[in-house]
Structure 1
């Protein structure tokens, strides 16, 4: 599994490269001191996973994540930072990051989470998840009754086909309605939509 480590602290890059490189199935192919360099490296190196800091000079981790996911959606990005504020968490996930870990995590935990990320899991540190459970003042307003029904079923883990059968709709109608919902709420995908829904459900 090829890793790219991006952090403006050269010591952090070197430490992570050394420690994660000891794992048999992990290979740190390069490090970068900012997001701009990370994008340049993606052209030639094509890492499987990027460990991405947030606050960096020249180009921060959120902007570089957005650009990388636009060009190489198959590259998975784990935000690795000391910051736990809600705004950065939401911006990182909205930009396309699949994971968000704190730098205080042990190397063993990082390695395990990197492997889990590769299998398709969404990785969120426990403290980060607590932040996500705090609503961001936006509500599920402006949706029709049918759109709200679809959001609820997505949050329950149903596929488009299952939702169509449940609501007596065509799969195409469900797909189109989901696109409208994502646009209205400015949310990236159905996973983020489910998180968004349960945040508010748990507070009600």
Structure 2
């Protein structure tokens, strides 16, 4: 898996390049110090996953994420930052980021989350989830209360089996309801459904 690290702190870039590079399935192909450099590197290197800081000179991570997703939608972006305020979290997800991880995460956890992101999961750090808990579920118009509950649990990373256990439903019922929800919202999969949820709750 090819990684691009984007951070204006050279020490952070060097440390992540060294430590993540020790993982057999991860290859740090390059580093960038701002969003503009990241876009240029995407043109040449076509990374699989980008670890993107938020606050950087020239072009910040959120604007860079938006432009990269517009041009290369298959490149997956994990925001890697010290910021866990609600505004930045929501702006990053709205820009198209599939993950939001804090720099305090261990390298082992970071590597696991990168793999999960590449496999199609939406990754939100536990502290980040706490920042945006108790959302206004009424924001999901067109869904029933139970359907909205299911979307919220999907956004929190629960599997169909875990959702079924929490809501006292069968796995088959949960699966059928998710199909109905995807059809109602015209969304193709549960990953996009989770992103849709976090973009819209208040």
**Same-fold call, TM cutoff 0.5:** yes
Residue 113 and residue 160 in structure 1: after superposition, are their counterparts in 2 closer, same or farther (change >3 A)? same
| Equivalent of 2:185 in 171, 175, 178 | 178
Q: Which runs of 5+ in 2 are unaligned?
A: 152-162, 164-173
Q: Tell me, what secondary structure is at the counterpart of 1:93?
A: helix
Paired with 2:55 and 2:83, the residues of 1 have a C-alpha distance of: 9
Deviation for aligned residue 1:12: 0.6
Cα RMSD, aligned residues only = 2.9
Pair 159,191 (structure 1): closer, same or farther in 2 beyond 3 Å: farther
Would you say 1:163 and 2:180 are equivalent positions? yes
| Structure 1: gaps of 5 or more residues | 165-173, 182-188
- Rounded to whole Å, the distance in 2 between the matches of 1:142 and 1:79 is 25
The alpha-carbon deviation at position 10 of structure 1 amounts to 0.8
Distance 1:42 1:32 in 2: 10
Alpha-carbon distance, 1:123 to partner: 0.9
Secondary structure of 2:129 counterpart: helix
Relative distance call for 1:119 and 1:142 in structure 2 (3 A) is closer
**Which deviates more from structure 2 when the two are superposed, residues 95-104 or residues 153-162?**
153-162
Q: 1:12 to 1:123 in 2, by over 3 A?
A: same
Q: TM-score, normalised by structure 2?
A: 0.76
Q: Secondary structure at the match of 1:114?
A: helix
Structure (1 or 2) with the larger CA radius of gyration: 1
Written as runs of structure 1 = structure 2, the 5 A alignment for 1:79-158 is 79-135=79-135, 140=138, 143=141, 147-149=142-144, 152=147, 155=151
